[in-house]
Amino acid sequence: MKIATTTGDFNRFCETDIEKITELHRAGFKCIDLNMYTFTPDCAYMQDGWRNEVEKLKTKADKLGLEFVQAHSQGGNSLSDDKAHVEFLVAATLRSIEICKMLGIKNTVVHAGFKKGITKEEWFKANKAFYERLLPTAEKCGVNVLCENSTRANMGDMYYINSGKDMREFIEYVGHPNFHGCWDTGHANCEGAQYDEILALGEHLYAIHFNDNRGIQDEHLAPYLGTMNSDEVMHALIDVGFKGAFTLECDSSLRGYHYWLGNRRSYEQDKRLAEPQLFMQRKIEEMMCLTAEYILKQYELFED
């Protein structure tokens, strides 16, 4: 397997994707997961000259010898009652699929929507309608759209496809050749054992987000910083015949002063140590790259 990680690791430190991939290259990564989770209406990728921006990114990646192996599309809630939010979510996701085509990315993750008080059947129907707005463009561009498992730690009592069985059922309900799944190991670690869940997803497993946590919250930590059993995950990936990249998504190993799972306690008199620094992230990236290489070499799966 090839090792990849997300450009989202450097979101707080770098303004552009060119800067982010340069940092990842410095850390030793050769494959990239392009994070397009936070497009805004005025960002460069949503303007008329967006193709030029993508071409500049591709040129830089080629110069560094980097390969884009997967992506994450716009974040949001497609089942929101805010129609403007949903329409921008769709527009940004369609743009991200076009960007994937230009960069040769075959798989992009697109989260399903969520809503309180709806049944599993209603969830399936509403989210199928959302993905059907994306799939004609995905098919035209030769890109697979991937749904992703979540966890009750994030979704509470709302229904969501948290299990491999439910993911497979939903993928087959949508029934499109460009629609498959991405397995997030951190989300799954909050739910329990993962081996049977990954096997249940089976041939629909097209990508992974490999990250750790302490089994209580969705923390997106580097491997070995939490409680996840990596051997169990590796055996499942082998037994299911997974052929994709070994993609890390550990972008919260260093937490800023404000964090969605809870802010760091404030000391108003002095905040000089409140925020992690770029040099810290650089070291974390080097450690993650070496750790991923170690994991794959233990299972004779490392591909340079």
SS3 184: strand
- Residue 163 pLDDT grade (very low, low, confident, very high; cuts 50, 70, 90): very high
Q: List, in sequence order, every residue forming a beta bridge with 144; answer none if it has no partner.
A: 107
Query: For residue 292, is it within any domain?
Result: no
Residue that has been written with the tokens 């989260």 in this structure: 111
SS3 221: strand
Query: For residue 271, is it within any domain?
Result: no
pLDDT at 262: 78
Query: For residue 290, is it within any domain?
Result: no
Q: How far apart (Å, rounded) are the C-alpha atoms in residues 216 and 213?
A: 7
SS3 57: helix
Query: For residue 270, is it within any domain?
Result: no
Nearest Cα to 105, choosing from 7, 175, 212, 199?
7
| Number of independent structural domains in the chain | 1
State the first-to-last Cα distance of the chain, in angstroms, to the nearest integer.
8
**Residue 261 reports pLDDT greater than 80:** no
Amino acid (one-letter) located at 299: Y
For 177-300, where are the alpha helices, taking DSSP H only? Answer: 185-191, 195-201, 230-239, 278-298
Amino acid (one-letter) located at 21: I
Q: What is the pLDDT of residues 72-89, one digit of tens each?
A: 999 999 999 999 999 999
Query: For residue 288, is it within any domain?
Result: no
Query: For residue 144, is it within any domain?
Result: yes
**What mean pLDDT comes out for the span 18-25?**
98
- Residue 257 pLDDT grade (very low, low, confident, very high; cuts 50, 70, 90): confident
pLDDT at 172: 98
- Residue 304 pLDDT grade (very low, low, confident, very high; cuts 50, 70, 90): confident
Q: How far apart (Å, rounded) are the C-alpha atoms in residues 171 and 151?
A: 18
pLDDT at 97: 98
Q: What is the pLDDT of residues 186-230, one digit of tens each?
A: 999 999 999 999 999 999 999 999 999 999 999 999 999 999 999
Q: What is the pLDDT of residues 181-194, one digit of tens each?
A: 999 999 999 999 99
Q: How far apart (Å, rounded) are the C-alpha atoms in residues 209 and 202?
A: 16
Query: For residue 17, is it within any domain?
Result: yes
The CATH number of whichever domain residue 53 belongs to comes to 3.20.20.150
Query: For residue 275, is it within any domain?
Result: no
User: Which of 193-214 are b and which e, b meaning 16 or more Cβ less than 10 Å from the residue's Cβ?
Assistant: ebbebbbbbeebbbbbbbbbbe
**What mean pLDDT comes out for the span 223-249?**
98
pLDDT at 263: 79
Q: Residue 231: give the domain boundaries.
A: 3-260
pLDDT at 98: 98
